[in-house]
């Protein structure tokens, strides 16, 4: 559970665990080396840290020192990633994780020059009854 734990509101630890297992499998099969594996995992970890940091930095809240401090955090990987938004390489724009970052930013009406042609998904209010997620899960446990 703690492998890659970054933030209680997101679940990147699961993604990092799966990637670690896949990278370890490749290492054991002789398809990779330890230096490459560690380097790739560091990039993945830095990606998720940047994704979560982006949510904090772009949050509208400024009502406490916590929220103000988050907007001032410096993380080199994040800064380079934000620079990539100016000219998105094709291989990056097809990654689901990058599209999550794109939609997170677009949903907050943040503007930058991008080569991505896809418009963000606009979520509309749901007509009808809602249910708490734990009540929904309980239906399957009975």
Quote the percentage of the chain above a pLDDT of 90: 11
What tokens appear for 90 in the block?
């094709």
pLDDT at 110: 60
- Residue 142 pLDDT > 70, yes or no? no
Output the CA torsion 14→25→77→86 (10° steps): -90
Structural domain total, the chain? 1
Answer yes or no: is pLDDT of 93 > 80.
Answer: no
Q: What is the pLDDT averaged over residues 113-133?
A: 68
Per residue in 18-75, pLDDT (tens digit) is: 888 888 898 999 998 999 988 888 888 888 888 888 888 888 888 899 988 988 999 9
Indicate the burial class of 137 (C-beta count within 10 angstroms; 0-12, 13-18, 19 or more). Answer: exposed
pTM: 0.59
Percent helix, strand, coil in the chain, to 5, is 60, 0, 40
What tokens does 13 get? Answer: 């630890």
- CA geometry: angle 51, 67, 59, nearest 5 deg: 50
pLDDT recorded at residue 140:
82
Model pLDDT, residue 1: 45
Within-domain flag for 41: yes
Q: Give the Cα separation of 54 and 71 in Å (integer).
A: 9
More confident residue, 83 or 30: 30
In a domain, 114, yes or no: yes
> Considering the domain boundaries, does residue 78 fall inside one?
yes
Residue 141 included in any domain: no
With respect to residue 104, please indicate whether it lies within any of the assigned structural domains. Answer: yes
137 domain-assigned = no
Whether 85 has a pLDDT exceeding 70, the answer reads: no
In this predicted structure, the answer to whether residue 118 has a pLDDT above a threshold of 50 is yes
| pLDDT mean over 10-24 | 78
Res 130: pLDDT: 78
Dihedral of alpha carbons 77, 95, 18, 40, sign: negative
The reply to whether 16 falls in a domain is: yes
């Amino acid at each position: 559970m703690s492998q890659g734990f970054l933030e209680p509101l997101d679940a990147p630890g699961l993604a990092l665990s799966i990637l670690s297992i896949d990278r370890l499998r490749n290492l054991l099969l002789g398809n990779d080396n330890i230096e490459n594996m560690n380097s790739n995992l560091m990039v993945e970890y830095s990606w998720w840290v940047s994704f979560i940091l982006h949510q904090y930095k772009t949050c509208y809240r400024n009502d406490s020192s916590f929220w103000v401090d988050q907007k001032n955090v410096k993380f080199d990987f994040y800064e380079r990633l934000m620079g990539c938004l100016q000219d998105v390489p094709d291989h990056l724009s097809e990654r689901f994780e990058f599209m999550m970052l794109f939609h997170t930013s677009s949903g907050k009406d943040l503007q930058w020059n991008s080569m991505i042609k896809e418009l963000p998904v606009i979520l509309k209010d749901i007509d009808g009854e809602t249910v708490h997620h734990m009540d929904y899960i309980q239906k399957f446990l009975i």
